[in-house]
């Protein structure tokens, strides 16, 4: 999906960086779109994210370290997008911004004419925009859902599921997604349904071989 998006630049550069970040950050969409460029420090192999607080840690500052992966290329994708913003003269303020089909970042005046959530959010993207972009590129890439709705929440869910099915402990899951200590959400909402879907009790039943019966 990210590779498909990158062909449509600069919008696709933003989207692929946003998807890679959302998966690795394990954040809620509102947390993603509320971030400022000043909150990010990009190094050669990781991204540092400063959070003033989140839903679980009210009034508690955090610095989240996102180590990069070869199959994610978070540093490359995020740095490319941030550098492109800098070329537009944007080095502070919201990380994720509306980009017009002309290839320019939407101005405050343009955003103000759209009304609704765009007006209320100012230069910050609405969480719904992340949702719309995930749906768009999921369909464009020809991907198929497992029956669950396609949404931006899937970025958080996929990250949690990957950790849980790869042996992460409950404590590690809670820390990665910044869930409340003792929360059952990661296991019950993300990990367990995936494991249950892969579980086939009928594997215990021997496969019927009609040839064996004929030989008797």
Chain-centroid distance of CA 63 in Å reads 18
- Average pLDDT over every residue of 124-128: 94
CA 13 to centroid of chain Cα atoms: 14
Share of the chain above pLDDT 90, in %: 52
What pLDDT score does 211 carry?
A: 75
pLDDT at 214 over 60: no
pLDDT of residue 14: 97
Task: Provide the domain count of the chain.
Answer: 1
Asked, for residue 203, whether it belongs to a domain, the answer is: no
Is 131 part of a structural domain of the chain?
yes
- 4 found inside a domain: yes
CATH number, domain of 147, equals: 1.10.443.10
19-53 pLDDT, tens digit each: 999 999 999 899 999 999 999 999 999 999 999 87
Q: Residue 141 — pLDDT band, cuts 50, 70, 90?
A: very high
Pairing of strands 40-42, 62-67: unpaired
Between the ranges 5-19, 42-56, 110-124, 158-172, where is the mean pLDDT highest? 5-19
Domain membership flag for residue 205:
no
- 182: pLDDT strictly greater than 90: no
Region 139-154: mean pLDDT is 88
Residue with tokens 């009034």: 59
- The answer to the question of residue 180 being in a domain is yes
210 located within any domain: no
Q: Left if phi > 0, otherwise alpha if psi is -120 to 50, otherwise beta: which for 208?
A: beta
Mean pLDDT over 197-204 rounds to: 72
Mean pLDDT to the nearest integer, 162-178: 86
Does pLDDT of 56 surpass 80? no
Helix (H) or strand (E) holding 101: none
How does the average pLDDT of the chain come out, rounded?
A: 87
The mean pLDDT of 136-145, rounded to a whole number, is 93
Q: Please state whether the predicted TM-score (pTM) of the whole model is above 0.95.
A: no
Decide if 85 is inside a domain. yes
Question: pLDDT at residue 195 above 80?
Answer: no
Q: Is residue 7 part of a domain?
A: yes
Give the per-residue pLDDT at 84.
97
Per-residue model confidence (pLDDT) at position 170:
84
Greater confidence, 212 or 76?
76
Of the pLDDT bands very low, low, confident and very high (cuts 50, 70, 90), residue 160 is confident
Please state the three-class secondary structure of 19-71 as a single string. Answer: HHHHHHHCCCHHHHHCCEHHHEEECCCEEEEEECCCCCCCCCCEEEEEECCCC
| Domain ranges, residue 31 | 1-190
| Among candidate residues 189, 136, 184, 128, the one with its CA nearest the CA of residue 159 | 189
What mean pLDDT do residues 69-76 have? 96
């Amino acid at each position: 999906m990210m590779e498909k998006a990158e062909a449509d630049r600069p919008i696709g550069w933003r989207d692929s960086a946003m998807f890679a970040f959302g998966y690795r950050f394990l954040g809620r969409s509102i947390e993603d779109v509320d971030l400022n460029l000043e909150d990010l420090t990009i190094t050669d192999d990781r991204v540092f994210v400063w959070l003033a607080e989140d839903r679980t840690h009210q009034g508690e500052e955090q610095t989240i370290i996102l180590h990069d992966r070869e199959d994610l290329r978070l540093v490359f994708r995020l740095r490319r997008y941030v550098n492109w913003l800098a070329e537009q003269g944007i080095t502070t303020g919201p990380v994720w911004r509306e980009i017009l089909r002309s290839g320019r970042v939407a101005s405050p005046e343009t955003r103000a004419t759209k009304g609704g959530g765009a007006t209320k959010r100012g230069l910050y993207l609405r969480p719904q925009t992340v949702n719309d972009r995930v749906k768009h590129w999921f369909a464009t890439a020809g991907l198929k859902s497992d029956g669950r709705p396609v949404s931006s929440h899937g970025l958080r869910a996929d990250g949690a599921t990957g950790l849980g099915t790869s042996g992460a402990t409950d404590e590690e899951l809670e820390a990665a997604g910044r869930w409340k200590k003792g929360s059952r959400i990661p296991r019950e909402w993300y990990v367990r349904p995936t494991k249950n879907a892969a579980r086939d009790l009928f594997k215990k039943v021997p496969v019927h071989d009609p040839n064996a019966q004929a030989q008797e």
